[in-house]
Amino acid sequence: MEYKLEICLDSAESAIIADKAGANRVELCENLFGGGTTPSAGTIKITRQSVSLGLHVIIRPRPGDFCYTDTEFQVMMEDIRYCREVGVDGVVIGILKKDGTVDKERNASLIKEAGDMSITFHRAFDVTVDPYQALEDIIDLGCHRILTSGQEASVFEGAELIRDIIQKAQGRIIIMPGGDITERKLPKIIKETGAGEYHIYLDQECESVMQHCPDHVYMGGLLRKPEFRNSYTSTTRVDAVLSTLKPHSSL
């Protein structure tokens, strides 16, 4: 099996690092603390112009649940249209109904708007009421992959369900584990899930270049990261994950 690495990240700068480090694909987001929301038009455009690797963009208008208002749905349609126009390779979507089932009608509209772009159904799958019915619904929609932690807080905990739905899918769709995967956990996750693609956040913090750093002014709420530390994708961590995936590819 040839394994693929998708890196979750939140800036054009990180995407450039991931591209140079040899990742197969990135999922471009913003607001990772809130689970990821749609990045700005500028971020999408500059990232597309700057990288040659696969570029997928999350289409999520806000944090929180996956049942959207009519206005939010229209925003999602417009964001997908923009992604298609600037040459994005894929979009990452997921709309649910109030009862926790897949909203096939609205997702179908997003997929139609996406045209030839690849479609990933994101971790909205992890809060569906019945993962096996959701799997069939998502396959019926024509999605190319499902991003999932196995309906648990982490892939490590959800590995059993992930392996099961991979078997149930029978090659009809890619099942891509994602959620709290680390370099240390990855070998065991590969063994326990049998998946071929992995979605991983591989960041490192670095000091700000600012020389004037007042320590009493904050731009966010009380739960916050330091103002004068920045976070980008880590080349070292990408290298470590790729070195783990390559030996398994020859099995």
**pLDDT tens by residue, the chain, 251 residues:** 789 999 999 999 999 999 999 999 999 999 998 999 999 999 999 999 999 999 999 999 999 999 999 999 999 999 999 999 999 999 999 999 999 999 999 999 999 999 999 999 999 999 999 999 999 999 999 999 999 999 999 999 999 999 999 999 999 999 999 999 999 999 999 999 999 999 999 998 888 888 898 877 777 665 666 666 788 899 999 999 999 998 765 44
**Cβ–Cβ under 8 Å, residues 57 and 33:** no
Q: How far apart are the first and last CA of the chain?
A: 7
Question: With the C-alpha atoms ordered 221, 225, 227, 230, is the resulting torsion angle positive or negative?
Answer: negative
Residue bearing tokens 């396959």: 139
The pLDDT score that the predictor gives to residue 122 is 98
User: pTM to 2 decimals?
Assistant: 0.89
- CA 87 to chain CA centroid, nearest Å: 18
Q: Determine the pLDDT at residue 223.
A: 61
Closest CA to 189 of 152, 145, 159: 159
CATH architecture of 4-202: Alpha-Beta Barrel (3.20)
Q: Which residues pair with 190 in a beta bridge?
A: none
Residue 106 in tokens = 């609205």
Q: How much is the pLDDT for 249? A: 54
**Cβ 20 vs Cβ 27: under 8 Å:** no
At 251 the pLDDT is 40
**Pure H helices in 22-103:** 41-50, 70-85
pLDDT at residue 224, rounded to an integer: 64
Judge whether 94 and 107 are in contact, CB under 8 Å. yes
Pair 229, 205: CB distance under 8 Å: yes
